[in-house]
């Protein structure tokens, strides 16, 4: 059975002038769980596509009145998510190959063999699902990332962007978790800016920075004389955020008394200022952040379970930078653009060695640390490109000596990427393979058994590949840190 992944069955359009052939194919596709629509000509097919959401089009290639290539062009231009498969007699395989070059997904030789049809529709639907998912993610990303403020291409970050989009316009409480410097504050602000509350204030409170008594008054305000220093009444941050968003950072540090008060605000949107018995009500959207595992805090008895459930309505988890290797170069470029402008410097980019060092480092301070590192490098840089010598010792120390060695003749696969238009496939694949292995290793904390399983290779193969790519030392030092 084929599942469209959505609410119902997958819809297939069959464009076949020959009714007998069409019916046989339709029976087979229906048995596979597809909804099948028919058209006897290209013109009819266009009409059907305008009225129905179709995932896969099977079309006769060149038997009039079906003109498969014309239909392919129409689908590409107007329904880019649909996948086109040609059906054609053995005599015109060459033109079918031609058609694939123009963007058809596959072709089925006629007479149609049912097993082939089943396999082909399965693969076409899978491809279609990937296309649709890709477009959805890209739309979400370009939306959020086009602000130029938030950079990310890692799959998990795309999921984050998608979630930001989905929850922004609700009042749902959002809990953002992630290590320090992963972008929690940035994401909180992005949610606010993309919500209907964007004209109203976004108020940020670093809960960990204030002693308990001050924090309570900071959040809820106080009346004159409520405590020694309360010489005048003062509205708190909740009142200041009325109509907008309040962002409570480092929420795990809240005291038991404060947790109780927060629970009430989240439940009823009401509170009393310190020293007052007047109940105030507010309309605020609450976003919270924690760099500690909040559930762990619940289990340790430090965080109220009922508050946890209130807080954890929507959880956005930001992966540490070392787990999104592909984002490191992007972010480095992003910060370089900013800091070279601020410093009035002409720096074209990074040397390969510098990028390699940046990608090998484990970034305990995450994006914030990378940001500082690039700012420092821009200030220090005396040449056209930021090199390893401009990076802090803990980062530059990770450059493999082999990268500096003069390029020998033979097995250059492990060397830095060289602009070499006609390198062998193995050479071209070496760098991507290395990146993938490094990323997966780091995602599994250096555990080779887990990484090998995730990569679908055995441990010995992984070990050999690590040795080939000089990843044994880097992995060892990372696991130890």
Give whichever of 186 and 379 is closer to ligand ADP, judged by the CB atom.
186
Contact 264, 274 (CB under 8 A): no
Give whichever of 110 and 184 is closer to ligand ADP, judged by the CB atom.
184
Roughly how many angstroms between the first and final C-alpha of the chain, as a whole number?
49
- Contact mark string toward ligand ADP, 149..188, x via CB under 6 A: -xxx-------------------------x-xxxxxxx--
No. of helices (H) and no. of strands (E), the chain:
20, 14
- Cα separation, 264 vs 277, in Å, equals 15
Q: Which of 127, 185, 255, 312 binds Mg ion (CB under 5 A)?
A: 185
Contact 321, 363 (CB under 8 A): yes
371 lies in the binding site for ligand ADP (CB under 6 A): yes
Closest residue by Cα to residue 282 from 268, 300, 261: 268
The two tokens of residue 457 are 């290779």
Residue 368 interaction partner, one of Mg ion, ligand ADP, none, beta carbon < 5-8 Å per kind: ligand ADP
**Which residues make Cβ contacts (< 8 Å) with residue 181, sequence separation at least 6?**
321, 365, 366, 367, 368, 369
Residue nearest ligand ADP by beta-carbon distance: 183
Give whichever of 25 and 141 is closer to ligand ADP, judged by the CB atom.
141
Looking at the chain, how many residues does it have?
481
CA dihedral 465, 469, 472, 475 (to 10 degrees): -100
Give whichever of 263 and 330 is closer to ligand ADP, judged by the CB atom.
330
- Cα separation, 87 vs 58, in Å, equals 7
Contact 248, 289 (CB under 8 A): yes
368 lies in the binding site for ligand ADP (CB under 6 A): yes
Give whichever of 68 and 183 is closer to ligand ADP, judged by the CB atom.
183
Give whichever of 148 and 401 is closer to ligand ADP, judged by the CB atom.
148
Q: What is the smallest separation between the CB atom of 191 and Mg ion, expressed in angstroms? A: 14
Q: What is the DSSP string of 375-420?
A: HHHHHH--SSEE-GGGS-HHHHTTS-GGGTS---SS-GGGS-----
SS3 for 103? coil
Residue nearest Mg ion by beta-carbon distance: 185
Residue 182 interaction partner, one of Mg ion, ligand ADP, none, beta carbon < 5-8 Å per kind: ligand ADP
Give whichever of 287 and 336 is closer to Mg ion, judged by the CB atom.
287
- Cα separation, 207 vs 328, in Å, equals 30
The two tokens of residue 28 are 């087979």
Give whichever of 249 and 327 is closer to Mg ion, judged by the CB atom.
249
SS3 for 110? strand
Contact 113, 85 (CB under 8 A): no
Residue 244 interaction partner, one of Mg ion, ligand ADP, none, beta carbon < 5-8 Å per kind: none
Give whichever of 183 and 236 is closer to ligand ADP, judged by the CB atom.
183
255 lies in the binding site for Mg ion (CB under 5 A): no
320 lies in the binding site for ligand ADP (CB under 6 A): no
Q: What is the smallest separation between the CB atom of 398 and ligand ADP, expressed in angstroms? A: 21
Give whichever of 184 and 304 is closer to Mg ion, judged by the CB atom.
184
Q: What is the smallest separation between the CB atom of 237 and ligand ADP, expressed in angstroms? A: 17
Residue 183 interaction partner, one of Mg ion, ligand ADP, none, beta carbon < 5-8 Å per kind: ligand ADP
Distance of CA 365 to the CA centre of its chain: 20
Residue 152 interaction partner, one of Mg ion, ligand ADP, none, beta carbon < 5-8 Å per kind: ligand ADP
384 lies in the binding site for ligand ADP (CB under 6 A): no
Residue 360 interaction partner, one of Mg ion, ligand ADP, none, beta carbon < 5-8 Å per kind: none
Near ligand ADP in 331-350, by CB under 6 A: 331, 334
Residue count, binding to Mg ion (CB under 5 A): 2
Q: Quick one: which H or E segment has residue 287? A: strand 285-290
Stretch that binds ligand ADP, among 68-76, 144-152, 217-225, 383-391 (CB under 6 A): 144-152
- Cα separation, 128 vs 84, in Å, equals 10
Residue 369 interaction partner, one of ligand ADP, Mg ion, none, beta carbon < 5-8 Å per kind: none
Residues that bind Mg ion (CB under 5 A): 184-185
Residues that bind ligand ADP (CB under 6 A): 150-152, 178, 180-186, 331, 334, 367-368, 371
């Amino acid at each position: 059975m084929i599942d469209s992944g959505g609410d119902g069955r997958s819809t297939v359009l069959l464009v076949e002038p020959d009714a007998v052939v069409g019916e046989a194919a339709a029976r087979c596709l229906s048995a596979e769980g597809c909804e099948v629509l028919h058209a006897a000509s290209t013109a009819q097919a266009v009409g059907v596509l305008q009225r129905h959401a179709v995932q896969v089009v099977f079309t006769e290639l060149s038997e009039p009145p079906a003109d498969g290539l014309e239909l392919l062009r129409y689908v590409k231009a107007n329904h880019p998510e649909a996948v086109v498969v040609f059906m054609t007699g053995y005599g015109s395989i060459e033109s079918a190959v031609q058609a694939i070059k123009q963007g058809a997904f596959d072709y089925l030789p006629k007479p149609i063999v049912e097993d082939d049809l089943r396999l082909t529709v399965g693969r076409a639907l899978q491809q279609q699902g990937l296309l649709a998912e890709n477009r959805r993610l890209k739309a979400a990303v370009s939306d959020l990332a086009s602000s130029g403020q938030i950079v990310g291409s890692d799959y998990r970050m795309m999921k984050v962007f998608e979630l930001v989009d989905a929850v922004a316009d609700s009042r749902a409480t959002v809990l953002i978790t992630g290590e320090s410097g992963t972008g929690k504050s940035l994401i909180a602000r992005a949610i606010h800016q993309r919500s209907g509350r964007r004209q109203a204030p976004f108020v940020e409170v670093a809960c960990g920075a204030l002693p308990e008594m001050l924090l309570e008054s900071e959040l809820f305000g106080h009346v004159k004389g409520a405590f020694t220093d309360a010489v005048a009444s003062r509205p708190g941050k909740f009142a200041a955020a009325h109509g907008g968003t309040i962002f409570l950072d480092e929420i795990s540090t809240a005291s038991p008394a404060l947790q109780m008060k927060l629970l009430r605000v989240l439940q009823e949107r009401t509170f009393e200022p310190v020293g007052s018995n007047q109940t105030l009500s507010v309309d605020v959207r609450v976003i919270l952040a924690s760099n500690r595992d909040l559930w762990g805090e619940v289990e340790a008895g430090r965080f109220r379970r009922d508050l946890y459930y209130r807080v954890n309505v929507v959880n956005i988890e930001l992966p540490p930078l070392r787990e999104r290797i592909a984002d490191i170069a992007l972010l480095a470029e992003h910060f370089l653009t900013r800091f070279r402008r601020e410093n009035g410097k002409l720096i074209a980019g990074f040397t390969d060695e510098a990028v390699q060092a940046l990608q090998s480092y484990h970034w305990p301070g995450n994006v914030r640390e990378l940001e500082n590192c690039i700012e420092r490098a821009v200030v220090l840089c005396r040449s056209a490109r930021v090199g390893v010598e401009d990076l802090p010792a803990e980062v530059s120390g990770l450059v493999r000596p082999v990268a500096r060695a003069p390029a020998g003749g033979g097995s250059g696969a492990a060397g830095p990427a060289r602009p070499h238009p006609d390198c062998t496939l193995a050479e071209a694949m070496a760098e991507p393979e290395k990146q993938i292995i490094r990323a997966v290793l780091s995602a599994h904390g250096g555990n080779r058994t887990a990484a090998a399983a995730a990569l679908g290779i055995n441990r010995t193969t992984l070990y050999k590949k690590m040795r080939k790519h000089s990843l044994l030392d880097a992995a060892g030092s990372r696991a130890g840190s």
